[in-house]
Amino acid sequence: MSKDNGVKKVFWESGLEIDTVYDRESVEKSGGVGSIGKPGEFPFTRGIHPQMYRKRPWTMRQYSGFGTAAETHERFLYLIANGQTGLNVAFDLPTQCGLDSDDPMATGEVGRVGMAIDTLEDVEEAFADIPLNDITVSLTINGAAVPIMAMYFAMARKRGYDLRELRGTAQNDILKEFIGRGTWIFPVEHSVKLVGDTIEFCAQNAPKYSATSVCGYHIRESGANPAQEMAFALAIAMAYIDHVKARGLSVDDFAGTLSFNFNIHGNIWEQVAKFRAGRRLYAMLLKERHGVANDRAMMMRMIAGGGGGGLTIQQPENNIIRGAYYALISALGGTQTMALCSYDEAYTIPSAHAAKISLRTMQILMDEAGLTDTVDPLAGSFFMETMTNEMEKEMRKIIDRLDAEGGIVKGIETGRIQSMVNRQAYELERRIQSGDFKKVGVNEYIDEEEKTEIEFHPYREQEAKDQIARLKAVREKRDDAKADAATKALRNAAMNGKNVMPFALDAAEVLVTVGEMTKALVDVYGRYNEPVVF
């Protein structure tokens, strides 16, 4: 923010300058209104369904999971009882990294920041008595997606569900892990191959299941600005689509199984323009690059959730207010699924009380505030249509630059994308420290005397011991000959370039562990060594 002739100049995080007033001429200069379209029609600027929330409100899917499967199951039932309509599952760090709970590398981390899963029996306990088609489940798992998805499918099949009718989502976006969170296991090339395996398997065996949720969310949390978040996510989606298309599958047939996960913290108008522009650009890219004709395949189905990067440790009750605005952004942006970080997540795993406040926030917007009354209520605004056009142009610039430099996969392999996002994070933190980027309670309106009591989620060492004992008991009772044979078959499938998912499903059914499946794949693919780029 700066001043020119005494008038404040305003810039969005994405670098776009905001005028004081917008009019019809502003819209025309930016590209006009020819790409707005109608809701439910290409290019889906106004949403992917004709009636949007008038017909069906957004799914409420709070991110949850901690400790053992039994404890997480209790929280799932609590959230469902309070009106949650979907589950978004948090796994502990060992599970995300493909480690069993008794692995020395897992010491001190079992169940700490998510649910510990070692075998099919843990998955069965976590989802016991939950109707999997009424309460759809999103598995927030990436590097270890193959064993976890295999266990989930094995559990569903064992309970009598037809996989061809099963609905749900796996996050399973490994390229964003290299950029953001870091729970990668295998080298980039082999990691993309495994994502391709899951997409192909689901297209052929579970066509209503979303094998991959492309996740701009964590790229944004790692420092990317809103335009970069969307552009990088679309580039990642195109990389997966290119890979699966090369296997001989029709993009029209499988692209519709991809979903997206985006962030919602920051300037309201910038976020809404990001979603409208990103939804439009995704459809256009599919048509331009792949000649996709199936409208359903071009729909950007998304969860707009979290907003964790916008929450503050200071004055945590302010996060309740932030969460309400993030939910407003999510609805105005046309999401299909919504999740909010709870006000205490800057400190700890959300308490049940904080999680319920987040649920009630979404329900108030849905039932009291009129967010479901009409489709895309900001459409036609001179400001919004101008900035939707400008955000689309900015995203295209980023994607074109990535393509010119060899594509996003190559950029990740060399560490160039990670370096770009790290630089952006540094610059934002510098602006926060200087006060140029305003954060209430952090660099303005600070109350040094204010003290707030926060309920911390305790780490219970006994739970970790119980989980390890449970794992030991499973190993003792299973048929080792069948487990060894299934593990060997999985390893051989990887070695011979086959789709590993059917073999992982067989392994899950005979109680092969997450760690054992992961090791079998590591034996073939090796492990990723992160490049350090300054």
pLDDT digits (tens, 9 = 90+) for 77-112: 999 999 999 999 999 999 999 999 999 999 999 999
Grade residue 43 by pLDDT with cuts at 50, 70 and 90.
very high
Grade residue 534 by pLDDT with cuts at 50, 70 and 90.
low
Residue 5: the pLDDT is 65
CA dihedral 472, 477, 478, 479 (to 10 degrees): 130
Specify burial of residue 78 (Cβ count, 10 A radius: 0-12, 13-18, 19+). middle
Q: How far apart are the first and last CA of the chain?
A: 28
Token representation of residue 461 = 């060492």
| Phi, psi at 455, each rounded to 5° | -85, 105
11: β partners:
17
Average pLDDT, the chain: 95
Query: Tokens 């790692």 map to which residue?
Result: 222
Which residues, other chains included, contact 160 with Cβ-Cβ below 8 Å and sequence gap of 6+? none
Residue 349: the pLDDT is 83
Residue 520: the pLDDT is 98
Say yes or no to pLDDT of 20 above 60. Answer: yes
Strands (E), 86-135: 86-90
Whether residue 226 is preceded by a cis peptide bond, meaning omega within 30 degrees of 0, is no
90: β partners:
140
On whether the pTM is more than 0.75, the answer is: yes
Tens digit of pLDDT for each residue in 119-142? 999 999 999 999 998 999 999 999
CA distance 337 to 80: 15
**Percentage helix, strand, coil for the chain under 3-state DSSP, each rounded to 5:** 50, 10, 40
Grade residue 3 by pLDDT with cuts at 50, 70 and 90.
low
Helices assigned H by DSSP within 91-225 = 93-96, 120-126, 145-158, 174-179, 188-205, 216-221
Say yes or no to pLDDT of 69 above 90. Answer: yes
- Residue 192 near residue 492, CB atoms below 8 Å: no
Residue 429: the pLDDT is 93
Residue 140: the pLDDT is 95
Residue 350: the pLDDT is 87
Instruction: Say if domain 5-60+171-434 classifies as CATH 3.20.20.240.
Output: yes
Q: Which of 4-13, 183-192, 335-344, 353-362 shows the lowest per-residue confidence on average (mean pLDDT)?
A: 4-13
Residue 359: the pLDDT is 95
Residue 8: the pLDDT is 85
Grade residue 34 by pLDDT with cuts at 50, 70 and 90.
very high
CA distance 233 to 282: 10
CA distance 389 to 391: 6
In this prediction, what percent of the chain has a pLDDT beyond 70?
A: 98
Grade residue 533 by pLDDT with cuts at 50, 70 and 90.
low
In b/e form, how buried is each residue of 422-461, taking b as 16+ CB within 10 angstroms?
A: bebbeebeebeeeeebeeebbbeeeeeeeeeeeeeeebbe
Grade residue 307 by pLDDT with cuts at 50, 70 and 90.
confident
Q: How far is CA 86 from the centre of its chain?
A: 14
CB atoms within 10 A of CB 136: 21
Domain boundaries, the chain: 5-60+171-434, 464-525
Cα→Cα distances 359→301, 351, 353, 354, 362, Å:
21, 13, 10, 9, 5
Element (H, E) at 42: none
Instruction: Tell me which of 209 and 454 has the higher pLDDT.
Output: 209
